[in-house]
Amino acid sequence: MKNLALALAMTLLLAACSSGSTVAPQDVTLNGVFTGTFENTDGMQGGTATFNFSQATDSTAITGNAIFDTTTLINTCLINGTITGTNNGANLSVTRGDTNFQFAISNNGNTLSGTYVTTPDPATCSNESGSGTITLTR
């Protein structure tokens, strides 16, 4: 009987702990200028990045531009230009031509950290994957 009571108590405890609640993404609108750094996966290329985001308050769509300063480098895989994307409050997905950026949003929308992948051009990319990391702050 004592074992049955213990088993019942453990079952109830486990059920309560695993009831599962989800946390909704923050309602973060990403307007403004974010600056930071990027580095290619092999560490051979990197530089500073500036993203200027525009997002309507009632929308998840992002537009803007990206500027990559690589004055100290010979070549880079990342090219300046117009960006488009989607903000779901926790993550940001942005494309620039054939480059895809995936960011995690933190610090109340003031920090974006993530990765990028582009179709590599052997003449400009130092690694075959054309991938790397990028961190931006507002």
For the CA atoms of 109, 113, 119, 120, what is the dihedral angle to 10 degrees? 140
118: closest CA among 130, 101, 126?
Answer: 130
Number of domains observed in the structure of the chain: 1
1 within a domain of the structure (yes/no): no
Read off the pLDDT of each residue in 2-18 and give the average, rounded to a whole number. Answer: 45
Structure tokens at 93: 């997905």
pTM of the model: 0.75
Burial of 123 (0-12, 13-18, 19+ CB in 10 A): exposed
24 within a domain of the structure (yes/no): no
Q: Which residue has the tokens 């200028």?
A: 33
> pLDDT tens digits, residue range 25-64?
557 889 999 999 998 887 777 889 999 999 988 889 999 9
57 within a domain of the structure (yes/no): yes
Q: How far apart are CA 111 and CA 90, in angstroms?
A: 11
**Cβ within 8 Å of residue 22, ≥6 positions away:** none
Q: What is the CATH number of the domain that holds 106?
A: 2.40.160.90
> pLDDT tens digits, residue range 56-101?
888 899 999 999 886 555 556 788 899 999 999 899 999 988 889 9
**Structural domain of 89:** 30-137
113 within a domain of the structure (yes/no): yes
Q: How far apart are CA 89 and CA 104, in angstroms?
A: 9
120 within a domain of the structure (yes/no): yes
